[in-house]
Amino acid sequence: MFTTSVIRGSPKLTRDLYVLISRSLFQKSSSMSSQKPKVYVTRRVPQDGLEILRPHCEITQWDSEKPVPRDELIRQVAGKDALFCLLTDKIDVDVLNAAGSQLKCIGTMSVGYDHIDMAECRARNIPVGFTPDVLTNATAELTVGLLLATSRRLMEASQSVRDGGWGTWDPCWMLGHGLDGSTVGIVGLGRIGVAVARRLAPFGVSRFLYSGHSPKDEAKEVGAELVDFDTLLGSSDFVLGCCALTKENQGLFNKETFSKMKSSAIFVNTSRGGLVNQQDLYDALVSNQIAAAGVDVTSPEPLPTDSPLLTLTNCVVLPHIGSATEKARGAMSALTGKNILSFLQGDKMPCQIK
């Protein structure tokens, strides 16, 4: 500090020092005010979200098509203000502890959020954004495609061309199940479930059934009937898993469930692999308890190449490509970026998990 005697005795010195000190304080203040929040991105993602964040944030990214290793995630998340993650990243207490008190929000580029410890996030007042709606159409299209592939035995028929199994035209060969006049049971009549029903209606589906705790207004749009779960299983020609994965429905489709379905029924799952007991699904397919199955999600992912499901001709397994369109994935990335930036700038996330 400067004493009174110095100020009075050296007016020029005082003035020069004052200017220097003022400039120093201003530069320090400007530096602090212009410091960008730090965001860690756990994977190589479409640029849409990064372009939203880059002008306002300092981005650190795991630039790979493969998931970030666990130890790298824990190391890199330390001191970050926000986390841009995917459904392949387990965001638990260890990750949150590693991030520290500076972590303000999380954005996951997914609709599902069972990979995030939401209870711990809520306890720490860390909001989590997700990406509903923007992948609805893409996932609904894939669900319909998978249903058609299994019901009309497209993969099996295509393979027969390659391996020489295609002979003369045979009226009894490669017979499948049509949608015309069928009953479709949708387990999880949310955004995607309704979008699937809307796309299937023109195929001549006779009835849409859904199960749940209470009637849904969205059901009126597609004329879906609310029934109990057992009725849905026993009445449906096609059973579609379109619900979010929760602790309550983990392994919902199991030996008991499949035993209640028609022997001609086809099961399709595009929600989460944990919804299904895969050994029970295999047994049901081998024993012809059900006719066929198509799954875009498995547990674990990727599905091991020695999985017995891959030996079956009446089971189509896809590598979790439900939202894999350029439009959908770009929109998912952009919404994740918007969720993060909105909160960092003091606004409400466009799509926040409650």
Count of CB atoms situated within 10 Å of the CB of 13: 12
How far is 30 from 61, CA to CA, in rounded Å? 27
Which residues, in sequence order, are bridge partners of residue 105?
82
Closest CA to 271 of 293, 291, 298, 247: 298
**How is residue 164 written in tokens?**
């020489």
Task: Supply φ then ψ for residue 179, to 5 degrees.
Answer: -90, -25
Spell out the residues 6+ positions from residue 3 whose beta carbon is closer than 8 angstroms to its own. none
- DSSP string over 281-309: HHHHHHTTSSSEEEES--SSSSPPTT-GG
One-letter amino acid of 345: Q
**Residue 40: which of 101, 108, 88 has the closest Cα?**
108
Token pair for 213: 């705790």
34: its two tokens: 């212009």
Q: Which residues are catalytic?
A: 320
Q: Pairing relation of β-strands 207-211 and 266-269?
A: unpaired
- Tell me the HSE value of 233 on the side-chain side, using a 13 A CA sphere: 15
